[in-house]
Chain A
């Protein structure tokens, strides 16, 4: 089942067109990796999907359906709640871990202490931080290590119970061990969420994703199961890109 359907999407910043006539469907509860050289429009695609593009000064034409309905027909708050996003640079709020995780639930009207505690505990377990920081919920989130911060930010995006999680190069600033942690966590999360991850790291895409999309200069060159894209690419450009990186 396709949770997102993108039809003939064009995105531009002013007169500069960043995404050209892109169509693709994203399957529910799978991990879809988006790969391509930097500046090819991968990140722009993500920010378009939860409509943050307008705030960044861009605009789009074409159609994006979320669960069969045009995303523009949803309330923007609701849409962003359903389609969460985590950025490359981790952005913990300069509050305690607890406050980071209750920030959004409180906005959506959850006042009950027990309920909030429950949410925090659940999220921490999901992102694998529970054992590491459970006793330190009042610690400043900015004092966590880089990998922990990123997991907290993913957790924070989960506090609003989204259906889709967009990740923009979530591991590019992390070392191998933390990257492995996050990959493991994403595999676990894909049981309940649809995940779209933009990445530079081809082996990461290969390791964790079910589908892979290759974008070059704003155009979707190839989109298939990860196995097909990596082992049996149909387009020469895809083959070159994959080879080029592998050396």
Chain B
């Protein structure tokens, strides 16, 4: 009898938990899609914020562009470093000790909260190096944030390449660099691009690092990498936090979610294409 009761309580518990996870996800999406859909139109997407206080009218075009540019810079910065590190660890590093040390450091890096990276970007890039609040400061800070994410995935992809295929390339008398560029990269390109894309999504949604390093309440579409920019997450925070316009906030949240959706769809397609190729 007691066993039966325990059994039921247990099943109710795990059933409720799983349902709750589903409900929360569906709720958040529906909430933003339903409330935000009405705010989105051509003007909202393609014009600058207007009104007094700024943002209460007009659109979010500079924020969309700013966020995308921040993402591109972050991805470029992070992927150059991450892919290099992965290549070094898989193809050049011969000492197990060095490998373990680098892995440890990268793991630590992924545990550093984004606000600390923001603080670092602010003191080093914005103040000491004099970049100011700018596209470049924010991009690099976000790049540092997504570096471990890309590195871990690229390394995994490179390790998984069939050793026999690499050996047969060397057996043709072909050099390591040629093998890397003509054989291994083409084999792994979908996985690498997919890792970078997902990391880009992570970067575009991050607000904490850009608050201190790049984002301002209002700026036009940036002219150079040293210009301050608007960013979607920060804009959303300002619109709600300062109570400027709830309607515009819903719209901004929806645009941010839609961009992330597109990024994730791209990565799914990339994965799918890769499987087709095999």
Contact = CB atoms under 8 A, between A and B. Distances in A.
Contact flag (A, B; Cβ within 8 A): yes
A104 interface: yes
B186 A95 contact: yes
Interface stretch (A78-86, A170-178, A210-218): A78-86
Interface in B1-27: none
B187 A87 contact: no
Contacts of A80: 170-173
A175 B117 CA distance: 60
Interface string A7-28: 0000000000000000000000
A78 B168 CA distance: 15
A103 B167 contact: no
B164 A107 contact: no
B277 A50 contact: no
A95 B169 CA distance: 13
A78 B173 CA distance: 7
B31 interface: no
Contact of A160 (B162, B173, B183): B173
B277 A84 contact: no
A190 interface: no
Contact of A103 (B170, B183, B277): B183
Contacts of B277: 94, 140
Contacts of A78: 173
Contact of A107 (B165, B167, B174): B174
A79 B170 contact: no
Contacts of A93: 165, 169, 183, 187
A156 B167 CA distance: 13
B274 to A, nearest CB: 10
B186 to A, nearest CB: 7
Given A87-B167, A89-B164, A104 B278 contact: no
Given A50-B171, A80-B171, A160-B173, A87 B164 contact: yes
A87 B183 contact: no
Task: Give the contact-size bracket for chain A.
Answer: 20 to 34
Contacts of A84: 171-172
B130 to A, nearest CB: 46
Contacts of A85: 168, 171
Contact of A52 (B171, B174, B187): B171
Contacts of A94: 165, 187, 277-278
B46 interface: no
A104 B174 contact: yes
A151 B143 CA distance: 46
Chain B CB count within 10 A is highest, among A50, A87, A93, A106, for A93
Interface string B165-196: 10111111111001000110011000000000
Interface of A: 50, 52, 55, 76-81, 84-87, 89, 91, 93-95, 103-104, 106-107, 140, 142, 153, 156-157, 159-160
25 contacts: A52-B167, A52-B171, A76-B173, A78-B173, A80-B171, A80-B172, A84-B172, A91-B162, A91-B168, A93-B165, A93-B169, A93-B183, A93-B187, A94-B165, A94-B277, A103-B174, A103-B183, A104-B173, A104-B174, A107-B175, A107-B182, A156-B168, A157-B172, A160-B172, A160-B173
